[in-house]
Amino acid sequence: MEPIMNQIRSRVFQRLHRAAVLPRRKHSGCAEQAAVPAPTNSRKNKPTLLVSRLYQPANLRDMGLQGEMTCKSQRLMQQAGLIYQSNPGCYYYLPATVRSMEKLVRVIDQEMQGIGGQKLDMPSLCSADLWKTSERWDLMGKELFCLKDRHGADYCLGPTHEEAVTTLVAHQATLSYRQLPLLLYQITRKFRDEPKPKFGLLRGREFYMKDMYSFDVSEEAAYETYESVCQAYTRLFARLGLRCVQVQADTGNIGGKLSHEFQLPADIGEDRILVCGNCSFSANVETLSPDTSDCPNCKTGKLEESKGVEVGHTFYLGKKYSNIFNATFSSAQNKPCIAEMGCYGLGVTRILAAAIEVLSTEEGIRWPGLLAPYQACVVPPKKGSKMDGAAVLAEELVHTLGETLPRLRGEVVFDDRTQMTIGKRMKDASRLGYPYVIVVGQGALEETPRFEVICQQTGETMFLSKDGLLDLLGRVETV
């Protein structure tokens, strides 16, 4: 060990010595400037997002699937190296998944802040005293992850934050009616001790959720806020291209006077939903009498049953929590009044997994366009093949896309694994679900270069000139 350290010290000393004896470079003078080599175009145009450098460990994919694969999204995400199970119901989210989640969070932020939501962050570690005050400590039962600190005080890892946010607002003694409605939301990890986690990210013990809480001056105002949030949810799912159904639902252990679920129809869904074929009525079967087949709304339509994955839930709480924790505001008459409340959840990781579940093929992931980790993958020819001359054109294409289409900067990856055939790399690209795969092959060497473009969402293959390709990708929406 000592000889190795001596060698390292010697090298460091030599470098420091060379740096000390070299003349200081001047910042003016043509001769000095000419001595510095200018970057070559080939070096300047080198792609920086290389598939070979993306952390999607092949050994994770090749180890075989962990445990029982209970749904398509779980299998595809593990096969693609997007998630890795650490223990039942808990997963590592690998970089491509985090990119997709961050995009989803940006879309959620846009919609929530568009209706006046303000983002905050509350502690995951929640005092048992709050939960006992609301009487939910025992009501939640074994679903709560409970623990004690070194002083013997009881805590839980928050699955939801009604108690915490109401206490926060209650401590603000100067809250005025002019500041209402007040909409506070967070996007954080949540914890629920599921007895049997399954379906990958669809039902886990640790997950990401957006939870928003509203405070209003009156019941009428609270209903208006409730409706505005439901409309924001509808817009959000429409932007993602997901056909969600808003159904009346049970309030469960959260409580309140009114509740709706946003269900994504899917065969893997654990909820049973009923939809009227004649009007807009829809409901979770839990809210209707057994064997109900006639629509209770229009009286003439028949209810059709299907399965769904719950990706969002809204509750009008009334004064359930604000009464308990004395969350008040000063009225126009300067009198203290109890605030009307609502709470609104979105399962962030569940939306991601549910979208993959309903949009993907059996062989490859298909993302909602806005949420794809990367929008395009450029595949150059195999090294040493007859088309090897197109490799430089492929690198230049990546540079051109970034320069010409600013929205695609950081969205185009270059598959530099040129020791592999184009076919094998295209198979990987299909598995990972890049919306657009651009193959730079023989057509790129023609007098009028053409590029093979595969649109993975539709399965369509096109052969486009550079201008045609720029026009196509220029219409891609990013967030």
pLDDT class for 397, splitting at 50, 70, 90? very high
What is the rounded average pLDDT of the residues 409-424?
Answer: 95
Amino acid (one-letter) located at 83: I
User: Could you give the CA distance from residue 474 to residue 111 in angstroms, rounded to a whole number?
Assistant: 24
Contact 117, 142 (CB under 8 A): no
Per-residue pLDDT tens digits for 431-471: 999 999 999 999 999 988 999 999 999 999 999 999 999 99
Residue 60, sorted as left (phi over 0), alpha (psi -120 to 50) or beta, turns out to be alpha
Please name the residue that has the structure tokens 């366009």.
369
Q: What is the pLDDT of residues 29-60, one digit of tens each?
A: 333 333 444 444 445 567 789 999 999 876 55
Least confident interval from 62-66, 79-83, 175-179: 62-66
Structure tokens at 71: 């749904």
According to the model, what pLDDT value does residue 3 have? 57
pLDDT score recorded for residue 172: 87
- Residue 8, pLDDT above cutoff 80: no
Residues 6 or more apart from 179 whose CB is under 8 A from it? 329
- The amino acid sitting at 159 is P
List of residues 6+ apart from 434 with CB closer than 8 A: 372, 374, 375, 376, 377, 413, 456
Largest CA distance in the chain: 94
pTM of the model: 0.88
Hey, what are 446's tokens?
């023609």
Q: Are 364 and 426 in contact (CB under 8 A)?
A: no
| Radius of gyration, alpha carbons of the chain | 28
H or E element in which residue 426 lies: helix 422-432
Give the integer Cα–Cα distance in Å for 199 and 132.
32
Q: Whole-number mean pLDDT of the chain?
A: 89
Q: Which helix (H) or strand (E) holds 437?
A: strand 436-439
- Where in 280-428 does DSSP place strands (E)? 282-284, 303-318, 328-330, 336-338, 340-347, 376-379, 412-414
Q: What is the pLDDT of residues 235-279, one digit of tens each?
A: 999 999 999 999 999 887 787 789 999 999 999 999 999 999 899
What are the Cα distances from residue 475, in Å, to 6, 353, 413? 59, 26, 18
Q: Which two tokens stand for residue 48?
A: 């920086």
User: What's the distance, Cα to Cα, between the start and end of the chain in Å?
Assistant: 52
What is the structure's pLDDT at 57? 73
Other beta carbons within 10 Å of 419: 10
User: Which residue would you say has higher pLDDT here, 328 or 38?
Assistant: 328
Helix axes 348-359, 95-114, angle to 10 degrees: 110
Alpha helical stretches, state H, 85-199: 95-114, 128-133, 136-140, 162-170
* Interval 357-392: pLDDT, tens: 999 999 999 999 999 999 999 999 999 888 888 999
The CB density around residue 426, as the number of other CB atoms within 10 Å, is 18
Within 10 angstroms of residue 7's Cβ, the number of other Cβ atoms is 10
**Rounded distance, CA 311 to CA 243, Å?**
11
Q: Does residue 69 or residue 260 have the better pLDDT?
A: 260
Q: In the structure, what pLDDT confidence band is assigned to residue 325 with cuts at 50, 70 and 90?
A: very high
